[in-house]
Structure 1
Amino acid sequence: MNHIPNISFKSSDGFNDIECIQLSELFTRIENDPNHNPHLPHRISFFALLIVTEGHGEHQVDLKTYKIQKDSILKIAKGQVHAFQNHPQYKGYLVLFTEDFVLKYFSKSSIEYISHLYNYHISDPLVENSALNAFFLERITEEIQSTNTYVQHEIIAKILELFLLKLEREAYKTPLETFNKKYQSLFINFKNLVEKNYTNTRNVKDYAKLLNISTKHLNTIVRATTLNTAKHFIDNYVILEIKRDIFSSTLSLKEVAYENGFDEVTNFTKFFKKHTGLSPKAFKSTL
């Protein structure tokens, strides 16, 4: 998968963590960027909602092609690979938002309910015939374009958070049945073990031992579910928890390091910078 480019969040409307853009504008913008071909698979470092308002077509997520049409929503999570079809015959919007936006403005309980944010591997990304789209798009574009910036981010976040929760409730009516049943139980057990033990170990061998399977088999399960290795899943979860602590607590960075299983601040800093490109101190200064 190393040939798949990684695309970072880049907005043109003054916000650095959320954007709602018409697809026609997006394609015009991309045409002027020789370094990015949206019709080829690319991995995103943010979350996206592809909302179709007219027409029909296809969109690829994690190498699977989905049929989309008016009132469809395609949920694409951070770390997933997607690609637009050539010459799309549909119109709509792409709502982009970063993980930092989610962690800073969404309630923790909402994050746990909105499965596609961090459990996209067991959540169907496609929502069809949604009656929620028009109202949501009207509200969020109105607020993004508002000249009254007082608590603007908070309002935008709540509009998006409520929309995602309502989508989750709709999805809950028809549970996903196409998920690989062979691996589902083991993967969920692995995920639960990581959440419980990540402060004690980030070693894949330890989790394989707890599951009574080989590391090779564990990697097979995780790759089939997430398109990434078990180590990638563990490290991503640790980074998420570190960010949560930095966002939501008054702990010093040294205390955050110890809370997340690092005995040495130096190792904590190296780990965080390796996976985010920033030191914990630099990341905290951006908040």
Structure 2
Amino acid sequence: MPEKLPVYRIPDFTPAKALSRGIHVADLQAHRQKHAFVQAPHKHDFYLLLVVRNGQGTHTIDFTLYDVKPGSVFFLTPGQVHAWDLSPETEGTLLFFTPEFYRGNREADALRQFPFFQTWQHPPVFNVQPNSLSPVEQLLHQMQQEYSRAAPFQIDALRAYLELLLIQLARLYPKTTVASEENIWPFQLYQLETLVENHYLEHLPTSFYAHALHLSPKYLNELCKQNLGKTTTDLLQERLILEAKRLLTHSPHLNIAQVAQALGFEDNSYFGRFFKKQAEITPEQFRQKR
């Protein structure tokens, strides 16, 4: 898809080496001083975790503005657009990792089991008292030590620390937003979220997603409505609208017809009607407001 919004990889932030392709641990202040370009909106092809110890500011993720304060923990999935505006004294730790690094030799990617990576259901941030993050800070410190020195089984150790870290964060995640043991979010919806991310530009019918999940379209629709209050079609349309907003905001070099084409719409006027129906504003009006 043509766009000028930068998409960064882990090696863009650290010397090229085998380890840097899958995971990176960094002090927030040092990272901001060394890579000033991260202030502007951008994407990553990896997962990002930010734990804030001190300071304040704002963090914008896909058009939603969040406050940054001590005890804030942010989670980003690949492809999300974000930018921050932080006070100079803001301190914290950044962790980058790819899904391939987390998965290792396992066939299944279980990252969607964690509530903070269920982007359809939960917000990408939670806030706790800073002292509640002590176990998380300890794990991050151990990861930084392991990351900074070459040692036997280094990759295995970092992957084990990562698993423990995500488990610890899941335990801290606000219980009111996490499904109970009796009402686990269906695993098919984890898979659907990945499928939609991979295929939404193809404008495939809902039957394609149902077939891929070995479900009937009717049953998949019921799963979506019961757990998200939305139909399968709603989810597909929302994903297209999000990408349209990203392009209209961050790709000024594309005119409306080119945005429509980039999103898989053959008819520019149909794209305009689709966008207005979903966003209650025309693409041109949305772009002017940004």
Q: How would you bin the TM-score normalised by the shorter chain?
A: 0.5 to 0.7
Q: Which has the higher contact order (CA 8 A, sep 6+)?
A: 2
1:137 corresponds to:
140
Task: Please give the alpha-carbon distance, in whole angstroms, between the structure 1 residues aligned to 2:52 and 2:162.
Answer: 17
Mapping of residues 1-287 of structure 1, within 5 Å: 2-10=3-11, 11-12=13-14, 14=17, 15=19, 16-31=21-36, 37-85=37-85, 87-104=87-104, 108=108, 110-117=110-117, 119-129=118-128, 130-131=132-133, 132-148=135-151, 150-171=152-173, 173-175=175-177, 188=189, 191=192, 204-207=204-207, 210=217, 217=234, 219-223=236-240, 227-228=242-243
Give the letter for the 1:6 counterpart.
V
Cα distance, 1:194 vs. partner? Answer: 5.1
User: Offset at 1:143?
Assistant: 1.2
- The SS at the match of 1:120 is coil
If the length of structure 2 is used for normalisation, what is the TM-score? 0.59
Amino acid at match of 1:220: Q
| AA aligned opposite 1:128 | N
CA contact (8 A) 1:106 1:158 kept: no
CA distance in 2, matches of 1:189, 1:167: 19
Deviations along 1:214-273, one digit per CA (max 9) or x if unpaired, are: 99755323346xx348xxxxxxxxxxxxxxxxxxxxxxxxxxxxxxxxxxxxxxxxxxxx
Q: Which amino acid aligns with 2:22?
A: D
Q: What percentage of aligned pairs have identical amino acids?
A: 21
Change (3 A) 1:143 1:107: farther
Q: Number of paired residues? A: 209
RMSD: 3.9
Relative to 1, partners in 2 of residues 1:219 and 1:93: Cα closer, same or farther, differing over 3 Å? same
> Contact 1:78/1:99 (CA < 8 Å) preserved in 2?
no
SS of equivalent to 2:207: helix
Q: Aligned-pair distance for 1:101?
A: 0.7
Question: How many Å apart are 1:20 and its aligned residue?
Answer: 0.7
Normalised to the residue count of structure 1, the TM-score between the two structures is 0.60
* Change over 3 Å in CA distance of 1:58–1:114 after alignment to 2: same
